[in-house]
Amino acid sequence: MINKAILFLITLVTYCNSYAQEFLSPSDTFSHEQTAYIVLADGTEIQGTIDDIDRKKGLIKFIKITDTEGKVHELQPESVKNMYIPPSGFDKVQKAANFVSDTQKWNNEKLNQDLFSKGYAYFELGNVEIKKETQKLLMQLLNPSFSEKIKVYYNPFANSTSSFGVGGINLVGGIAKSYYVAYSDEKMIKLDKKSYEDEFSNLYQGCASLLEKFPDPKWRDFAEHITAFSDCND
């Protein structure tokens, strides 16, 4: 019964997302059994199982991982370059299903497509502007398959629009009212729903065809705009 329920959810989420490019749903819970993959700032690679991830107001503050040789590593966010973390339970099902509809649009060869197809969440260290101060934080990437030009990151403080779900699991909708965005390796800056139309031409400058195609941009189409910009050849 459990396998049938999971298969049903995957099919339903894939069907709902097949008509529009979507961001991955953010992961809040993580598996303590499957392998996590972490690359440190000095290039050291760690594979192992997550013992603990401490957060403060949604932001990662501490990571404890036991590697394949049994050694325990206690990591501060600023020591981590990037990491792939396995989500748990239905969170894994939802993320894997979300990703299925995006595989044909994959344009970032630097990221591990296989791990995303298994529902992994990807975090990378970046300079984040929060209340006019720049902090080094591990941020979760939400558009891995179309992130070549602009990366979109989860904002744990953001409120969301309405969503549709079954049994407490969000399947479609629930668009956040703000994200953090960055061009290439530039500073991550918060982008809000309320200011999106005003920022639209600046955000996608250099792509005249996109600006012409969306003369009246809506926040609900943000993922579609990012996809079009990634594919823009103007």
Residue 15 to residue 97: CA distance in whole angstroms: 9
- In this prediction, residue 233 carries a pLDDT of 87
The dihedral sign for the CA sequence 224, 225, 230, 234? positive
- In this prediction, residue 208 carries a pLDDT of 94
> Phi and psi of 9, rounded to 5°?
-65, -40
Whether 21 has a pLDDT exceeding 90, the answer reads no
- In this prediction, residue 107 carries a pLDDT of 64
Taking the CB of residue 66, how many other CB atoms lie within 10 A of it? 16
97 by DSSP, 3-state: which? helix
Of the listed ranges 135-139, 174-178, 191-195, the one predicted with least confidence: 174-178
3 vs 64, which has greater pLDDT?
64
DSSP structure class, residue 141? B
Q: How far is CA 136 from CA 12, 73, 130, 133, 143, in A?
A: 38, 20, 10, 10, 20
Whether 68 has a pLDDT exceeding 50, the answer reads yes
Residue 220 to residue 156: CA distance in whole angstroms: 19
Of the listed ranges 183-187, 207-211, 228-232, the one predicted with least confidence: 183-187
Q: What pLDDT, in 10s, does the model give residues 138-176?
A: 999 999 988 889 999 999 888 765 444 444 444 444 578
What is the rounded average pLDDT of the residues 177-187? 89
58 vs 16, which has greater pLDDT?
58
Q: How far is CA 125 from CA 83, 87, 94, 186, 200, in A?
A: 9, 19, 24, 12, 26
Q: What pLDDT, in 10s, does the model give residues 107-122?
A: 677 888 889 888 899 9
88 vs 183, which has greater pLDDT?
183
- In this prediction, residue 44 carries a pLDDT of 97
Count of H-run helices and E-run strands, the chain: 6, 12
20 vs 54, which has greater pLDDT?
54
Q: What is the pTM of this model?
A: 0.82
Tell me the percentage of the chain whose pLDDT exceeds 70.
Answer: 76
The dihedral sign for the CA sequence 193, 199, 201, 202? negative
Q: How far is CA 103 from CA 18, 99, 117, 154, in A?
A: 11, 7, 8, 20
- In this prediction, residue 8 carries a pLDDT of 47
Residue 173 to residue 74: CA distance in whole angstroms: 36
Residue 226 to residue 15: CA distance in whole angstroms: 21
What's the mean per-residue pLDDT of the chain? Answer: 82
